[in-house]
Amino acid sequence: MKRSVDTPVASKVVDRRAFIKVSAIAGGGLLVGTYLRFDVSSLFAEAAPAAADGFAPNAFIRIMPSGAVSIIAPNSEMGQGVRTSLPMIVAEELDLPWDEVTVVQGDLNPEYGRQVSVGSQSTVSNFTPLRHAGATARAMLIEAAAQTWGVSASACTTEQGAVIHAASKRRATYGELATKAAGLTPPANVPLKDPKDFKLLGTRVPGVDNQKIVTGKPLFGIDVKLPGMLYATYTKCPVFGGTVVSANIDDVKKLPGVRDAFVLDGIRGLTPGVAIVADTTWNAFRASKALHVQWNAGPVASQSSAQMAAQAAQLAKENAPQAMPSGAKIVQATYHYPFLAHATMEPQNCTAVFKNGVMEMWTPTQIPASGQGLVTRGLGLAPKDVIVHITRLGGGFGRRGSNEYSLEAAAIAKKLEGTPVKLMWRREDDFAHDNYRSNGWHSFTAAIDGSGKVVALHDAFVKMEGGPGDMNDSGFPFPAIPGSKVVSSKLPAGIPTGYWRAPGDNGNVWATQCFVDELAHAAGRDPLAFTLELLAATPDGGERGMDPAKMKTVLERATELAGWGKRRPRGEGQGFAITHTNRAYVAIVADVAVSRQGELTIKRLTAVVDPGMLVNLSAAESQVQGAMLDGIGAAWFQKLTIEGGAAAQSNFNTYHMLRMNNVPPVVDVHFMKSSEPPTGLGEPGLPAAAPAVCNAIFAATGVRVRTLPFAEVSLRWT
């Protein structure tokens, strides 16, 4: 059975200027480290700074004389499968039997490089370095065997964790060769395997944590337990930017199980609020309900979703096109998507203990260095004195890239020096203090000539200031239409926005792909032929290097598999959408049925994806299926509104999620075979799902969905 360890084994500090570094470890084993130069990105602005020379380690292999092999998984696992797939890359090049590998979760450590699980980049950024690490270790083990036997290394091969010399029928395990290999100089430019020779990559491999998950073993931040631990809540002003004026602290301290209560303010990066510490989570939660705080709400209290909609309409009017080609058919439509919460199944949490000047934290985080940075700046600690243990995440979707809960926990723990404290957010806290997916409005104007060709396209785009999701004129279909234009405007800041699965694309692709379908019908054209014509007119490169030929291939394959063009009875319809997200090419076809009363059934989703080379087929399928369901669930039901500068929805009774009875009975995923390096895969399956369903709804009913969630849109037809 595959073994998984939640805490890393000790590692030595190694030379950062070497790409591959090999050394002996206690007991005569072999340690292989791999190094990668990382580019600076604003996305990781709060991550720990790179070494001055620009190199940082990324992953490690450990081979012991006993034959035990450990591979560190440096990135955070939140269901995307990297705790399994990253070690698989090493095991493939090293020719290791997968069942004999122990996967070790790495804590935050500058030796492992930028440990970030965001932007579907974990596999993309690690793929080549980890292949080199495995291949270099394999070459050194071969050389160790060749020297031992007095033969040429070229006469030796590897198989299932052993070096073989076929001519003499000699065989030595990696464990037997580890000590000698550790003393060798690592070779440069070791050739990598030809993908056609892969035995492990591209196959179905169960997640290393699966057994623990289904048997309820502790894996997540919420599961952390330490001796003598207390439990805390942290209450902030429901209006964003509000501060504490006064609170009934003395009354709260008298409640059952409460150990302490206090206001936290004046800490850099920390939103002011009231901490309650108790002997159980329940007592902390119960005490928080008895807490009465007088707040200074501040200027954001005047903001509301209704006000934003009015402002957006005015901005769109101001940025409308001056003129359209004379004689052309003019098509106008405004598409609106709302704020969305991340609604992770596991609420935000962090366990911290401050002892002897050192802050130690256990946290579910996508960017652990971000939390460390917040704590070092906020509490005046040195980075070396802030230790971050990475737990498994009960959902992330971009939410756990920001780590304010880590600073909250650390600030509380510092007040209770020597006592471990687990900070738990209530579900209501999670909805009230999220970094939401921004709302947005696309006011499209297009002109269609007499031949059914789009000759002008204008988009007056409006979104909340701050956060991702900006639209630009390089995204499909704009490059296909000469003179097309996007004019972007921003609503005043105040509501916190952040990264939400497939940032930007999650809303913008829905709007643009629905409008392309609308244009096809306005032109009297078949949407497939219409879109293929636009792709043919799209130049190579353009939006994030999109290859129109690849997009055409996945679209044609998806529509072929889904039976596009077959006649269907009224009330049933097909729609499709495409996206180039995180360098992956995705086409999704939706089959739906809508009753005359407007009840929607999604019968089938068919996806074709070109993500480059697959690492783990099982995880890849799950990621695309999950992303599609996430996409249709958000578009169908989810909406967060702002009233009086605060979130109006506080729990799942008012923020509805996709349920089992809404899930399509058939969710097909097909991958194009590729030998190119992997692209992102955790997010690309999401953006095209919602527009595919909305376009299918129109085909079935004639009802055009232009506002989300479409659960609030009447789909009745006659």
Whose CA is closest to 104, among 70, 59, 128, 150? Answer: 70
CATH topology of domain 221-298+348-424: Aldehyde Oxidoreductase; domain 4 (3.30.365)
* CA–CA dist 394, 400 (Å, integer): 10
Tell me the mean pLDDT per 10 residues along the chain, length 718: 49 34 56 42 28 31 88 92 95 94 91 84 90 90 96 97 97 93 87 95 96 95 97 98 98 98 97 98 97 97 97 97 94 98 97 98 97 98 97 96 96 98 98 97 97 97 85 79 94 94 96 98 98 95 83 98 95 98 97 98 98 97 98 98 98 97 97 95 97 98 98 97
Peptide bond into 364 cis (omega under 30): no
Find the helix or strand (DSSP H, E) in which 667 lies: strand 666-671
CATH class for the domain made up of 3-201: alpha beta
| pLDDT for residue 298 | 95
Whose CA is closest to 577, among 565, 589, 591? Answer: 589
| pLDDT for residue 213 | 94
Structure-token pair, residue 188: 């440069």
* CA–CA dist 428, 651 (Å, integer): 6
What count of Cα atoms within 13 Å lies in the side-chain half-sphere of residue 276? 34
Q: What is the pLDDT of residues 124-167, one digit of tens each?
A: 988 998 899 899 889 999 999 999 999 999 999 999 999 999 99
Whose CA is closest to 612, among 127, 30, 108, 97? Answer: 127
Whose CA is closest to 231, among 222, 244, 240? Answer: 222
In CATH, what number does 507-712 get? 3.30.365.10
CB 616 within 8 A of CB 204: yes
Paired with 646 in beta bridges are 643
* CA–CA dist 205, 522 (Å, integer): 47
Find the helix or strand (DSSP H, E) in which 41 lies: none
Q: What is the pLDDT of residues 396-415, one digit of tens each?
A: 999 999 999 999 999 999 99
- CATH 3.30.365.10, the chain: domain bounds: 3-201, 221-298+348-424, 507-712
First and final C-alpha spacing in the chain:
58
* CA–CA dist 476, 552 (Å, integer): 13
* CA–CA dist 610, 98 (Å, integer): 26
What's the gap between Cα 105 and its chain centre?
18
| pLDDT for residue 40 | 25
Q: What is the pLDDT of residues 68-120, one digit of tens each?
A: 899 989 899 999 999 999 999 999 999 999 999 999 999 998 877 778 999 99
Please give the share of the chain, as a percent, with pLDDT higher than 90.
83
Amino acid at 365: T
Q: Are strands 421-424 and 230-236 parallel, antiparallel or unpaired?
A: parallel
Q: What is the pLDDT of residues 463-491, one digit of tens each?
A: 998 877 777 656 899 999 999 999 999 99
> Coil, strand or helix: which one is 717?
coil
* CA–CA dist 687, 476 (Å, integer): 13
